[in-house]
A and B are shown apart, each in its own frame.
Chain A
Amino acid sequence: MTTARWLPVWLLLVASVACERETRRYRELPASASRPGAIAISELEPGGRTPRTPVLSPYQENAYGIAEGKRLYSAYNCNGCHAQGGGGIGPALMDEKWLYGSEPDQIYSSIAQGRPNGMPAFGSRVPAQQLWQLVAYVQALSVQVPRDAAPSRSDDLNGHAAEAQLDIKVPRMTGHR
């Protein structure tokens, strides 16, 4: 009888707590998607870098968003140049070397604006929501997302270990290397 009495109370308590990892957003972008002003591509600043508080990308902790990013990565043929993240014609996305910065905003603008030597500008083709999902997946490839939100192995030939099991830790670009 005790179980019968306490179970509803317990359920009400836990239902009030949300879980970002498991939210599924189909239509609207999270509020964190709106970004202010210009994004610096270069790390070089006169007189040393201004300290910045790291900002998460909208889907950085969202399993559904990262999984969608993974789907779009192959649907839009990113692996044509970047392979499964190890690079080929284009640079690797799984390593610690970031030509144009590893901040979410910087990754976003690299995809949207294109970059010299062959990275096309996808901004006119890919809607903002999907761009952020791709950003989140690139972050997953470089182990910048929580392990339990990162995708697991794909149901296909696997080019690398599941993103949730990758080992490289990429330092956030918040200071001098």
Chain B
Amino acid sequence: MTPPYDQSGDGLSNAEIEQLTDTWREPPGLVGWLSAVDHKTIGLRFIVTAFTFFVLAGLLAAAMRVQLARPDNDVLGPDLYNQVFTIHGTTMMFLFAVPVVLGIGIYFVPLMVGARAIAFPRLLAFSYWMYLASGLFLYTMFGLNVGPDRGWFSYVPLAGPEYGVGKRADVWAQLVTFTETSGLGVAVCLVVTIFKLRAPGMSLNRMPLFVWAELVTAFMVIFSMPSVFLASGTLIMDRLVGTHFYNHAEGGDPLLWQHLFWFFAHPEVYIIFLPGNGLVSTIVSTFSGRPAFGYTALVLSLVSTGFIGFGVWVHHMFTTGLPQFGVSFFTAASLMIVVPTGLQVFCWVATLWSGHVRFATPMLYALGFFQVFVLGGLTGVMLASVPLDAQLHDTFFVVAHFHYVLIGGSLFPLLGGLVYWFPKVTGRMLDERLGRVVFWLFVVGFNVTFFPQHLLGLMGMPRRVYTYPAEMRWGTLNLLSSLGAAIMFVALSLYLWNIVRALRHGTPAPGNPWQASTLEWATTSPPPPYNFAPLPTVSNREPLWSASWPDQPIITGLATDRREVLVTRLMDADPDHRREFPAPSPWPFITAVAATGLYVGSIFTPWAVLWGAIPTTLGVLGWVWPRHGQRPSDLARALGGAGTEQRRS
């Protein structure tokens, strides 16, 4: 058990703490709100905005389940239904799942690696504003009857210039461009933070597993997003300026779209899954009271999943008539990727086996993860087979499969992770009893919703249908599924209510309520603007569990009157140099507004790219213009070496 973190002692005087607070805090007022660069502020914004979109997409899902609850129903006509399922999928994939897992990374990775800040804070702020703009853009367009209606995957020629009538498909394409820009920015921040800002002593093989997960995720974002950028860019070009990328009559190919899209979209689902994976490691370890079993195996599994994930995309195209020999490779790769994931499951079970399990709410969600995700993974094995996929592709079996793996693999750990980290972020505890009730409602509701859909798919019900005939007798299973959705709706509403209530009346949280081992628990709840007063160092994987934690050296000597951060080396996190990080700035916001204008305008005219580039460039210039503290003389001082070390107690 670690003693509560004492801010006043350990090498920093009260006056220095005060100055540190003053240096790192967010400026007040509207301009301050627009200028925020603190990773905790922005991370929280990502998470809250993502959950807002989750609620909106959930309401769309509820509308779909109401429509499908009975055969030949007329609650939603075909046009509206097509928009609803498209926007449900697009929101969940682009506006909820990826931003939320990156958001928890933004908030917790710098804390877990013992850093003061995230790398490139203004890029991070810009990424948030682009993300917010993209969501506002999509829903505004939906309200104006210009909501995309061609599916979240937007196949051509249906979404192409001839059959994608109006501007709906352009809205989809630009939404994707927006979210790519945002995602790439965040990924860069995460990678550089993890590589260069770790606490001294935190060599790569001492990093928490959650940090490893976010690292692999960030790399996957960097390598996959350009493909969808290319896809959405060429789609806009085909639609706006008449290129022929996807026009078979003039030398293009509709199948090119599928390759470009799925080359991105399959890694995308691993981008969504891996941080959940990291959360499971964290929760299972904490609530078993022992380090995760098989650290090296778990890390190698994460990395190999990241690599193999780029080699399976054709399993979304098994029915397009591609040559048998080629697609068999993708069967093999899709089966191969089960091995690292299976290994991880075995390691977690081994952790539980040899630990002392505490059944707090986060642990319940981790157990729910096992029940749901493993089932989804097994149906994935079925879908990896080409002949079986030929029957199951584009049916409700696939809908069931991906909801099991995405909700099981990402949402369950996320909901558990939020309960786990809620005390750290807010300083209050969620209601434990209500938390358990919510968990059971949710896991039962989820299974009742999606398990019947496996059977519906086997018995002939295709996807993306706004209704079905009564004589197919799919009504009973559909009604059951819709009832399950109602239970999920209740569960999630109670979950949100638990949060709202705890924010006002929750019991104050102790420093480390779960007796966890990672560095974010070594500071106050919520963390101060500067994260850690003297910066910590580590000498093993579970710093707060080690007996030598009270004697662990700390870093002193960093300036308190400016935003100075310690930069360390990649492999073993040896201190390298000090660097001054930028102060809050409104320029990322201004640039994001200009870029939004460029992206939205380019739906209507290609000239927007030219005219929009001017304010965007001005924004970027304002952003990077050197200020006091960034001139050569300052840099020379920064290269003067790392801070001195002192004993902790």
Chain A residues packing against B (C-beta within 8 Å): 1, 3-4, 7, 10-11, 14-15, 17-19, 21-24, 63-64, 67, 70, 147-149, 151-158, 161-162, 165
Q: Check A155–B605 contact: CB distance below 8 A.
A: no
Find chain A residues with CB under 8 A from B458 CB: none
Residue ID in chain A nearest B168 by CB atoms: A22
Q: Check B239–A152 contact: CB distance below 8 A.
A: yes
Find chain A residues with CB under 8 A from B161 CB: 151-155, 162
B13 an interface residue at 8 Å Cβ cutoff? no
- Given the known interface contacts A153-B161, A154-B161, A165-B242, the answer about A148 and B604 at a Cβ–Cβ threshold of 8 Å is yes
Find chain B residues with CB under 8 A from A23 CB: 145
Residue ID in chain A nearest B145 by CB atoms: A22
Most buried by A among B52, B136, B145, B165: B165
Q: Check A155–B157 contact: CB distance below 8 A.
A: yes
Find chain B residues with CB under 8 A from A158 CB: 242, 244, 247, 249-250
Residue ID in chain A nearest B49 by CB atoms: A3
Within 8 A of A (CB), among B142-160: 143-146, 157, 160
Find chain B residues with CB under 8 A from A153 CB: 161-162, 238, 242, 244, 247
Find chain B residues with CB under 8 A from A149 CB: 166
Known: A67-B165, A154-B162. 16 other contacts (CB 8 A): A4-B51, A7-B136, A10-B140, A11-B139, A17-B144, A22-B167, A23-B145, A63-B167, A151-B161, A152-B239, A155-B162, A155-B246, A155-B249, A158-B242, A158-B250, A165-B241
B48 an interface residue at 8 Å Cβ cutoff? yes
B240 an interface residue at 8 Å Cβ cutoff? yes
Find chain B residues with CB under 8 A from A151 CB: 161-162, 165
B132 an interface residue at 8 Å Cβ cutoff? yes
Q: Check B144–A152 contact: CB distance below 8 A.
A: no
Cα distance A70–B498 in the bound complex, in angstroms: 55
Cα distance A152–B167 in the bound complex, in angstroms: 11
A-B contact pairs, 26 of them (CB 8 A): A7-B52, A10-B139, A10-B140, A11-B143, A18-B144, A21-B166, A22-B144, A22-B167, A23-B145, A63-B166, A64-B165, A70-B162, A147-B604, A148-B604, A151-B161, A153-B162, A153-B238, A153-B247, A155-B246, A155-B248, A155-B249, A157-B250, A158-B242, A158-B247, A162-B161, A162-B242
B6 an interface residue at 8 Å Cβ cutoff? no
Choice from A4, A70, A165 contacting B52 with Cβ under 8 Å: A4
Find chain B residues with CB under 8 A from A21 CB: 166-167
Q: Check A22–B166 contact: CB distance below 8 A.
A: yes
Cα distance A20–B546 in the bound complex, in angstroms: 67
Find chain B residues with CB under 8 A from A11 CB: 139-140, 143
Q: Check A148–B167 contact: CB distance below 8 A.
A: yes
Q: Check A10–B250 contact: CB distance below 8 A.
A: no
Q: Check B48–A3 contact: CB distance below 8 A.
A: yes
Cβ distance A73 to chain B, nearest Cβ, rounded Å: 12
Cα distance A24–B166 in the bound complex, in angstroms: 10
B45 an interface residue at 8 Å Cβ cutoff? yes
Q: Check B249–A19 contact: CB distance below 8 A.
A: no
Q: Check B163–A15 contact: CB distance below 8 A.
A: no
Residue ID in chain B nearest A146 by CB atoms: B604
Find chain B residues with CB under 8 A from A63 CB: 165-167
Find chain A residues with CB under 8 A from B240 CB: 152
Cβ distance B450 to chain A, nearest Cβ, rounded Å: 27
Cα distance A141–B547 in the bound complex, in angstroms: 80
Find chain A residues with CB under 8 A from B165 CB: 63-64, 67, 151
